[in-house]
Amino acid sequence: MASSLHVHGVKIPCHGAIRSSKLCPQHMPITLKRLRFSDSVASHSRLLCAAIEDSSRSGRRRAMIKGGVEAVFREEEIEERFSDGTAEAFTCVMKFGGSSVASAKRMREIADLILSFPEERPAVVLSAMGKTTNKLLQAGEKAVSCGVNKASEIEELSFVKELHLRTVDELGVDRSVISAHLEELEQLLKGIAVMKELTLRTRDYLVSFGECMSTRIFAAYLNKIGIKAHQYDAFDIGFITTDDFTNADILEATYSAVAKRLHGDWINDPAIPVVTGFLGKAWKSCAITTLGRGGSDLTATTIGKALGLREIQVWKDVDGVLTCDPSIYPRAEPVPYLSFDEAAELAYFGAQVLHPQSMRPAREGNIPVRVKNSYNPKAPGTLITKTRDMSKAVLTSIVLKQNVTMLDIVSTCMLGQFGFLAKVFSTFEDLGISVDVVATSEVSISLTLDPSKLWSRELIQRELDHVVEELEKIAVVNLLQHRSIISLIGNVQRSSLILEKVFRVLRTNGVNVQMISQGASKVNISLIVNDGEAEQCMKALHYSFFESGDLSEQVLDGEVENSSAMSHRVKSH
Ligand SMILES: Nc1ncnc2c1ncn2[C@@H]1O[C@H](COP(=O)(O)OP(=O)(O)O)[C@@H](O)[C@H]1O
Ligand SMILES: N[C@@H](CC(=O)OP(=O)(O)O)C(=O)O
């Protein structure tokens, strides 16, 4: 007699009679303890879990599951299943960024890399190949003004076509896996040329071709080499987002929908899911959305939380999260451990290595994130967890956000302090502008405006004028452009030590700090300096904190610092 259980709303067949024989190891949701279920199914899974535990503890081989259904276990199976989780559907998610899938050679290496972890059953998330997203955006811009007849000849379209067809050929998979997409892409560019406009909605549809094609090629290649894989478009499997095209937020309903779909499919036909990163479906318009540049990291952490996985791996082209952006300072070193808070601040304040929102699902699901290098898999990478040992930590990483606009707002005393702050912030709220860094006194506020939010609207000057006009009703406003935020991520419990060093370095380099803010996050101190001085500051700070060797344990234990090393002035490296 066959019976079934329902987990995640999915009917799970249990071969053999539940009353009289064992549950099928393959189909039994064994890792109940580890998997985090959505509320709607939690009670069921708890019942099942309790039943198995009870059976295990009491040595009885029978347990009541639900509604009079009786399960009979063999004890050795119970032991086995709990100790090694062999019946888990997926163990981790592996996300590979654009550089990791930039060519046929890279795709082969990634396939080998996945195979080199035989103990894992991953869900795979891919970005678009190499610089495809940028090329598609450029093609879209050109299509607006090139005329319909020239749309097929746009250089970037030819680049994208050639790259994908060459990859397909070199991997030996059938061109048909992407030919319909290439045709549709060309039609879309012609459509943009006819309309002579590229809306944000169309822009998202346009760039979606990148991830749709990379995943199809890779899944086809895995199947060709005998690894069963199944391609998924995120917008078809429950990635539900706001309608904020180019920067959409993932909605809560996504988690259960994605889990239901991926688990359901795996149970019916186990295969490695290869999912498009970066993409979602707008809940109102049902159109394709994107999650903001670098959004595949967020796709990966969302899947990690949805499936309650043991680990989320994001594979990049660097040895993990580094002490600063290597393009600013090549001597940046990998950071072995980070907390979710540190990683989130780092990402939010501009470290391109992680998407700003990507830590949220991982933190909520308490799932470790490992940042690894697909070019150098042996490197340990960075492990991001809820907490970490901060006893020896001083500074973890330095992040730079350039071209920031700063506002100095001084009250004209028409309002009390409370009314003044409230009015200032409600002005930003009304205008939908987010504020990054804030420092206040009783009668003044200095703050910076999030550049990405302003840039995306293309109306930057008009918007800024509007902000100033509104604020001038209650204050004297000074608008300062071309500023940079240098964020010092680390152990703010040691802020005196950090700040002493920072100011010494900056004074030695003749740099004036225009604003400073120590966030409530306890992991971030932000400094505002002129854009023109920012990179030099980064180098000097990096040298002083990470290379001069003066933050030894003795210093941390309160002994006298070596001031000559501290005042080392860095010219350039
Ligand atoms: N603090 C940092 N640590 C590591 N990489 C950084 C940092 N800041 C900026 N980067 C840049 O981020 C890049 C990796 O992120 P990204 O381009 O999104 O990778 P992928 O496309 O593989 O997902 C690196 O090549 C590096 O240039
Ligand atoms: N392809 C998208 C999404 C993404 O996450 O890419 P990457 O993983 O290469 O940063 C982008 O370029 O923004």
Centre of ligand 2 to C-alpha 293, Å, is: 6
**Average pLDDT, integer, range 414-442:** 77
CB 248 within 8 A of CB 300: no
Predicted confidence (pLDDT) at residue 39 exceeds the cutoff of 90: no
Centre of ligand 1 to C-alpha 416, Å, is: 45
Centre of ligand 2 to C-alpha 336, Å, is: 23
Q: Is the CB of 127 under 6 A from ligand 2?
A: yes
SS3 of residue 209 by DSSP? helix
**For ligand 2, atom 5, which residue shows the shortest CA distance?**
294
| 266, burial (CB in 10 Å: exposed 0-12, middle 13-18, buried 19+) | buried
Predicted confidence (pLDDT) at residue 25 exceeds the cutoff of 60: no
DSSP letter string, 457-520: TT-HHHHHHHHHHHHTTTEEEEEEEEEEEEEEEE-GGGHHHHHHHHHHHHHHTT----EEEE-T
pLDDT confidence tier of residue 167, bands split at 50, 70 and 90: very high
Which of 119-123, 355-359, 421-425 has the least mean pLDDT? 421-425
> Of 106, 316, 345, which is best to mutate to test ligand 1, by the most ligand atoms within 8 angstroms of its C-beta?
316
Query: Which atom of ligand 2 is nearest the CA belonging to 294?
Result: 5
Centre of ligand 1 to C-alpha 326, Å, is: 8
Centre of ligand 1 to C-alpha 259, Å, is: 29
Q: Is the CB of 411 under 6 A from ligand 2?
A: no
pLDDT score recorded for residue 530:
94
pLDDT confidence tier of residue 33, bands split at 50, 70 and 90: very low
pLDDT confidence tier of residue 421, bands split at 50, 70 and 90: confident
**Average pLDDT, integer, range 136-148:** 95
ipTM for this model: 0.98
List pocket residues of ligand 1, CB cut-off 6 Å: 97-100, 127, 294, 316-318, 321-322, 324-327, 351-353, 397
Residue ranges and CATH numbers for the domains of the chain are 3-84 (no CATH), 92-316 (3.40.1160.10)
Alpha-carbon gap, residue 453 to 500, rounded angstroms: 33
Centre of ligand 1 to C-alpha 106, Å, is: 17
Query: Which atom of ligand 2 is nearest the CA belonging to 296?
Result: 5
pLDDT confidence tier of residue 279, bands split at 50, 70 and 90: very high
Among candidate residues 77, 73, 76, the one with its CA nearest the CA of residue 87: 77
Alpha-carbon gap, residue 120 to 386, rounded angstroms: 22
pLDDT score recorded for residue 62:
45
Q: What is the pTM of this model?
A: 0.81
pLDDT score recorded for residue 414:
57
Q: Is the CB of 304 under 6 A from ligand 2?
A: no
Predicted confidence (pLDDT) at residue 275 exceeds the cutoff of 50: yes
The DSSP call for residue 87 is T
**Average pLDDT, integer, range 511-540:** 88
- Give 448-475 pLDDT, tens digit per residue: 887 655 544 444 677 778 888 888 888 8
**Average pLDDT, integer, range 559-569:** 33
pLDDT score recorded for residue 34:
27
Judged by phi (left if over 0) then psi (alpha if -120 to 50, else beta), residue 511 lies in beta
Helix axes 176-195, 155-171, angle to 10 degrees: 170
* Integer angstrom CA distances of residue 542 from 327, 488, 505, 572: 13, 10, 10, 11
Alpha-carbon gap, residue 476 to 482, rounded angstroms: 20
pLDDT confidence tier of residue 11, bands split at 50, 70 and 90: very low
Centre of ligand 1 to C-alpha 349, Å, is: 13
Centre of ligand 2 to C-alpha 439, Å, is: 33
pLDDT score recorded for residue 551:
55
**Average pLDDT, integer, range 69-75:** 40
- Give 369-415 pLDDT, tens digit per residue: 999 999 999 999 999 999 998 888 889 999 999 988 898 998 876 55
pLDDT score recorded for residue 518:
82
The DSSP call for residue 322 is B
SS3 of residue 255 by DSSP? helix
> Of 95, 132, 278, which is best to mutate to test ligand 2, by the most ligand atoms within 8 angstroms of its C-beta?
278
pLDDT score recorded for residue 453:
54
Which residues contact residue 327 at a Cβ distance below 8 angstroms, ignoring those fewer than 6 apart?
Answer: none
- Give 101-111 pLDDT, tens digit per residue: 999 999 999 99
pLDDT score recorded for residue 558:
44
* Integer angstrom CA distances of residue 21 from 18, 94, 482: 6, 36, 71
Which of 61-75, 97-111, 421-435 has the least mean pLDDT? 61-75
Query: Who wins on pLDDT, 224 or 565?
Result: 224
Alpha-carbon gap, residue 480 to 477, rounded angstroms: 10
Predicted confidence (pLDDT) at residue 78 exceeds the cutoff of 50: no
* Integer angstrom CA distances of residue 414 from 449, 466, 523: 24, 20, 36
pLDDT confidence tier of residue 238, bands split at 50, 70 and 90: very high
Query: Which atom of ligand 1 is nearest the CA belonging to 296?
Result: 23
When mean pLDDT is compared over 47-51, 80-84, 357-361, the highest value belongs to 357-361
pLDDT confidence tier of residue 73, bands split at 50, 70 and 90: very low
E strands, 283-332, are 288-290, 311-316
